[in-house]
Structure 1
């Protein structure tokens, strides 16, 4: 049994469980939810035709039909394209965000020997830590990995041997780099307050004090705005605005185009997880302590929940918070009009960046006064 626990505690196992049991299903369902939500907001029926016999499920099966269509579709490569880089670009767009999930603490430390009982004060036995990589520079690792994804758009445009795709790749990479700066600075205020960039430590700090949104509400607004632009979502979806311009993946088809498409929705899930971790207590449930006791308004209950029940509630809380932020990003896309290119860059460099610096300086000044 201890060997089984060791296998479950192996980072690769945790990554596979998180990505294939939560991230990929949610990202796939978001492709359906995007169309369904836009149809509701525009008074249309939306996707409702895909079915298996009499089973329709409100059109949910459309993402399965889309996947089959992309797999069977012709994989076209332009004659003058650089075949190696042309094939590498979708991988560079998708792989970095999958690697970045390693820093996300998506659940508490599990004590298998105490799973069906109330967690004692000093638990013993093997543990399963539901975080793959604990490093002091955790969020900096995220930004480092995120920078690699920029190459995917640039290389896709250059390797396609299409001048319009090249311009689209440059446009996309300039947008992503512009908003990375404001995104990183928006989290520096949180770092000053919590004293750590390690996501697990930030979650623990919020459990002992207040959620990050309470101590840094303006940083949440800045991070949300910059992250939507970073993931190229509306109203910042200029790199993919096919009615007006040509995107960097214009020459891609079939499963390669599907990788670009899926990467965008996986980024939505990841950004939602980061906001949940940094600003909304991560997997912690309000008023529920890790030992299973409820403490609301200074009052403690006379009983405590078993450790297994606490773990399940915390996993559900993390998943629910993540899904709510995913839904928020979908709603924003179908609410606000698309920016022009000059408006997009002006917002990043002349608005968000100064505001992020101001938030950082005000936070540092307030902390200095409180010392």
Structure 2
């Protein structure tokens, strides 16, 4: 780390630059970098704290996508690692001090999801959900849902969604209750839960519906031949709708191979769901006799069909990208989101106690795949405790 005296001297020199240039430089920095500058010099602190600068910076930061990985260092502290698609390095966000009022040292917690400045964690010991607001530096325990206290294993990533606003947030999750799909919604403004039973959708999806603008998609059941997907209005309080897309097989051999589901081979495919889409990650199905490692050999993107009655294959990751990401793995997990017409997916794999991260992006309108370069995160061990995308971090 650079000598603090040198940092202070450099910040003074930075302040001597023309104000227009300083503004331009600051607007191209990420929030962790700006906060570091803010703590070094009063002139910079005053500039960064100016409300006109804050509003303009926050309006631009909405387009920045962050990937957050939570790694619990048992009996020591909690570290949230953040990487942006506009940076070339990882940032460490120390959240242990924020969690101290509610979490004992060494307590087992899991990172559930994030939206804007709000991050949700689940405590396995207390069976509670904890909301952390990084911007406001506040932490609170969310009241138990109508289903009662829940441990970390009860939460399914594809069955929940966090939606944050300027001063509030909503946490939604879907579950089967007595074999009926039910939506549970917590609103921070009222500090209360609302539950709604979903109705079956027999007429097909609404004509001309816009997935990311009008609906939130939550996976209730991810079955081998049929899924149960809940559609909740993004702003509406109307009862959610359930669709049951099936894998129909179909025309070509490759499509039939993907959806055939040989149960003896099921370990060779991983399914990552999110926002009305699904990734199917396929391996070579052989495995290394000594390490048990497998090798990625294909990734396909599927989407909910326009009728809601079946999954339809949209695209597959091209060979030029597969050649770069074809690495051995023993354990693999992932998450997927759709926002602003782009599918973002991350795969977190482990081989010989070393974690590797693959970030894929698919532009729906251009039908184009991109591999986002992710620097080495230098994470070892098996105590990975959550991963999620987010956007809209604010000053």
| Structure with more helix by fraction | 1
TM-score (norm 1): 0.26
Higher strand share: 2
More contact order relative to length (CA 8 Å, sep ≥ 6): 1
User: TM-score scaled by structure 2?
Assistant: 0.25
